[in-house]
Amino acid sequence: VYTNLIRVEEAVGQVPVLVLSMDSNHTVANLDDLAILAQQGNTISHAIGFVYAEKNVLPVFSEEQIISTSGGGKELELLIAGRVDLAIISGPHYRQLRERPQFRDAPIHQAGTVAHFTLYPYLHKKHAHLADNLAQALRKVKEDGEYDLFFPMD
């Protein structure tokens, strides 16, 4: 918890949390499905600092089943190399990584979306007076349709 930050009360997007696999038989619709894959002994990789995954997804796996990476696509490299069975990643990050040559044609299977989380902007509390204006400006840009052109979240 960051006590020096305040949340701007206008969401900037819904981010899907994806489960990836090289096995097209893996299907995940929710955390219960992921728990079943964990019970079957599957391993998973994730980027350190992906807080949603660390708090909500990884607890269904044992420590021996988890490989934590520095991010930057390492979780996909492990998946492609067969060192893990699953990878957990945000939708926007995955879309960005798929543009890299080493991942573009890889037969990665999107096993499912286990959740969505809402993103909000935060300001340092010394800038609290800007929060309402920022929220209002975000609402206006969203209403105009311009926001989705610059910040697609799927």
| 52 confidence band (pLDDT: 50, 70, 90) | confident
What's the N-to-C CA distance of the chain in angstroms?
A: 27
Average pLDDT, the chain: 92
CA distance 47 to 90: 10
DSSP 46-107: EETT-HHIIIIIGGGS-GGGEEEE-STTHHHHHHHTTS-SEEEEEHHHHHHHTTSHHHHT--
For residues 147 and 65, the model is more confident at 65
Percentage of residues of the chain with pLDDT beyond 90: 77
Contact 114, 31 (CB under 8 A): yes
pLDDT tens string 98-127: 999 999 999 999 999 999 989 899 999 999
| 153 confidence band (pLDDT: 50, 70, 90) | low
